[in-house]
Amino acid sequence: MKRYRRIIYTFENAIEVHEYLDGRYGARGSPRKKKKKATPEEMDKRNQWNREKLCRHRLWMYFQESHDKFVELTYDKKERPASMEVAKDHFKKFIREVRKEFRKRGYEVYWIRNIEVGTRNAWHVHMAINRIPDIDLILDKAWPYGQVTPKTMYKVGSPAKLASYLTKTPKTEPRLKESNYSTSRNMPLPEPEKETFYRMREPKEKEGFYIEKETFYEAKNKYTGYLYRHYTYIRLHRRI
């Protein structure tokens, strides 16, 4: 009998579900199917998918869409870094000052960022950061290299869209020449719940939630021929 796995990630305002055929299925004692080696392109897609997933989960767990900030840090032409290593050093100095100001006020800072340089050598940083009083002043003072543009996160998009945006690379965005993605280390994620089931059915309704259409994805695994899918329940009356 075919055996499926269901992996459930639960957050305050969202429940993300992944369903797929178990790697070891059939009658007890049957041999495991031999895995086929993924191509470099498939590995790139898998790595990007995992990066987006972890980013999305941290956005759901540590940020509020209508409260916290999506920030763009830009460089004046004369301040542009000579390399990614220099840009990373600029960000380290910046976030060190931000962290110091947060702690003075009794807060911990949570951040997710992507340093990007385009094909025309325009450097900038996209960042999600939790909001506290005076955050605009804190960010402006800590970034001496150019402009700071903060927006409320919901104006940029859902956590799924924002995760995709924050994890861009030259392989996903041709206008990028180079990128570097990173997060603060104080955002651990809980282990998901795991279930076993034996037949793919339509997702169940959950009281107080709806399935966000843009997150529903279903396809056949090209190696096994069996369905796999993932989707997200969103809380109806959530505190965004």
pLDDT (tens digit, 9 = 90+) per residue, 79-131?
A: 999 999 999 999 999 999 999 999 999 999 999 999 999 999 999 999 999 99
Alpha helices per DSSP H over the chain:
40-62, 84-104, 135-142, 159-166
Secondary structure tally for the chain: helices H, strands E = 4, 11
pLDDT at 26: 47
pLDDT of residue 33: 56
Q: Which residues lie across from 52 on neighbouring strands?
A: none
173-202 tens-digit pLDDT: 999 999 999 999 999 999 999 999 999 999
Segment 42-73, tens digit of pLDDT: 899 999 999 999 999 999 999 998 899 999 99
Instruction: Indicate the class that CATH gives domain 62-183.
Output: alpha beta
Confidence of residue 239 (pLDDT cuts 50, 70, 90): low
Taking each helix axis from N to C terminus, what angle separates 159-166 and 40-62, rounded to the nearest 10 degrees? 130
The C-alpha atoms of residue 107 and residue 95 are separated, in whole angstroms, by: 14
Rounded Cα–Cα distance for residues 42 and 39 (Å)? 5
Digit-coded pLDDT (tens) for 129-165: 999 999 999 999 999 999 999 999 988 889 999 999 9
Buried b (16+ CB within 10 A) or exposed e, 117-145: beeeeebbbbbbbbbbeebeebbeebbeb
Alpha carbons 47 and 29: distance in angstroms, whole number: 32
Report pLDDT digits (tens) over 207-221: 999 999 989 999 998
User: C-alpha angle with apex 174: 178 to 37, nearest 5 degrees?
Assistant: 85
Q: How far is CA 13 from CA 89, 161, 165, 183, in A?
A: 35, 16, 21, 21
Global pTM reads 0.90
Structure tokens at 208: 């107080």
Residue 237 is predicted with a pLDDT of 78
Which has the closest alpha carbon to 166: 115, 105, 229? 115
Residue 32 has pLDDT above 80, yes or no: no
Instruction: Provide the residue ranges of all domains of the chain, joining segments of one domain with +.
Output: 4-30+200-235, 62-183
